């Protein structure tokens, strides 16, 4: 007999056959636990200067897989709400998700997504395919549409290593819109308020076959350009030793670059910017 934490027998819902989706299980039996289902009262809209928002995140493919990075700043209107927010998270061993948008909802969505992938693997006995992971995240975003229309949008960026893809194309990038639209991106992509500037920098710096160090420097240069033109994006904070989060996903799995490595690369980039404030030219 199986017992719950209060000493009572688990309800019948735990023994009823269903899908391998943990989100669907909660929606059917405990919908109040799904933060993405809570909609504000009719006519109410969240004030943008009262809710922390995360800003710029980006991803680019490179020789060994895919790199994903994000700045650390969260803002409430014209105020800096947090200087060391973590916007890049592993979803499982070979997948990572970063976010821009409403911080509280985004963090809840990331945690739920991590459980969703773990639950599927335990039920099915195999990991979900990368395409399946992208579709599952799109469905979770679609559940948040009501809140997004009331000013509480979350826009994730999904990356993963796909061993079934052709050689050289195994690092894949997926973007979404607030209605759950799913789009696969080739090469690189950026989201958030600084994305026009970060995307422009990546368009200049990206090329096929980048090694890990070159890809990390390109990401840091792009985040610098975003911070240079977008006040909601934070650049490297040398005095506080707060630097962007940079992570890679390869055949060996998810790896976040160490603080020491990110600090060293950021310092190198800052020195380059002393001579070239507008950043490096496009590589031939």
What is the per-residue DSSP string for 191-251?
Answer: ESTTHHHHHHHHHHH--TT--HHHHHHHHHHHHHHHHHH-TTS---BTTTTB--EEEEEET
pLDDT digits (tens, 9 = 90+) for 176-215: 999 999 999 999 999 999 999 999 999 999 999 999 999 9
In the block, tokens 């973590």 appear at: 86
**pLDDT > 90? residue 280:** no
| Confidence label for 23 from pLDDT (cuts 50, 70 and 90) | low
Contact 9/15 with Cβ under 8 angstroms?
Answer: no
What does the pLDDT read at residue 2?
43
For the record, the structure tokens of 79 come out as 């105020």
Mean pLDDT to the nearest integer, 69-88 = 95
**pLDDT > 90? residue 46:** no
What does the pLDDT read at residue 221?
97
Backbone angles phi, psi at 211, to 5 degrees: -85, 180
E strands in the chain: 53-54, 57-62, 65-70, 74-76, 79-82, 88-92, 95-102, 154-161, 171-176, 182-185, 188-191, 245-250, 253-256
Give the mean pLDDT of the chain: 87
Beta-carbon contacts of 30 under 8 Å, excluding residues fewer than 6 positions away, are: none
Mean pLDDT to the nearest integer, 96-125 = 92
| Confidence label for 152 from pLDDT (cuts 50, 70 and 90) | confident
**pLDDT > 90? residue 261:** yes
| Confidence label for 123 from pLDDT (cuts 50, 70 and 90) | confident
**pLDDT > 50? residue 127:** yes
| Confidence label for 100 from pLDDT (cuts 50, 70 and 90) | very high
23, 36, 55, 56: the catalytic one is: 55
* Distance, CA of 49 to CA of 252 (rounded, Å): 41
Beta-carbon contacts of 190 under 8 Å, excluding residues fewer than 6 positions away, are: 56, 57, 58, 59, 198, 199, 202, 222, 226
| Confidence label for 18 from pLDDT (cuts 50, 70 and 90) | low
What does the pLDDT read at residue 51?
80
**pLDDT > 50? residue 1:** no
Contact 100/139 with Cβ under 8 angstroms?
Answer: no
* Distance, CA of 226 to CA of 104 (rounded, Å): 23
**pLDDT > 50? residue 3:** no
Asked about 16 being catalytic, the answer comes back as no
| Confidence label for 17 from pLDDT (cuts 50, 70 and 90) | low
């Amino acid at each position: 007999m199986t017992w719950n934490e209060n000493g009572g027998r688990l309800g019948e819902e735990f023994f009823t056959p269903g899908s391998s989706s943990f989100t669907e299980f909660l929606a059917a039996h405990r919908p109040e636990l799904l933060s993405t289902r809570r909609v504000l009262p009719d006519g109410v809209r969240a004030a943008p200067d009262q809710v922390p928002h995360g800003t710029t995140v980006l991803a680019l493919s490179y020789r060994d897989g895919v790199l994903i990075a994000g700045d650390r700043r969260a803002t409430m209107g014209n105020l800096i709400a947090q200087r060391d927010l973590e916007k890049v998270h592993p979803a499982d061993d070979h997948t990572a998700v970063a976010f821009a948008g409403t911080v509280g909802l985004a963090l809840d969505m990331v945690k739920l997504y991590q459980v969703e992938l773990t639950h599927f693997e335990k039920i099915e006995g195999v990991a979900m395919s990368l395409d399946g992971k992208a579709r599952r995240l799109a469905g979770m975003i679609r559940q948040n549409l009501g809140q997004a229309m009331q000013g509480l949008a979350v826009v994730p960026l999904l990356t993963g290593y796909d061993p079934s893809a052709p050689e050289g194309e195994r690092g894949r990038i997926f973007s979404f819109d607030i209605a759950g639209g799913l789009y696969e991106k080739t090469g690189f992509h950026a989201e958030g308020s600084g994305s026009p500037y970060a995307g422009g920098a990546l368009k200049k710096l990206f090329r096929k076959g980048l090694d890990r160090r070159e890809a990390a420097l390109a990401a840091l240069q792009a985040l610098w350009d975003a911070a240079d033109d977008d006040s909601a994006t934070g650049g490297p904070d040398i005095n506080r030793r707060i630097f962007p989060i940079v992570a890679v996903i390869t055949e060996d799995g998810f790896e976040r670059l160490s603080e020491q490595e990110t600090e060293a690369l950021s310092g190198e980039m800052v020195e380059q910017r002393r001579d070239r404030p507008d950043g490096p030219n496009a590589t031939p």
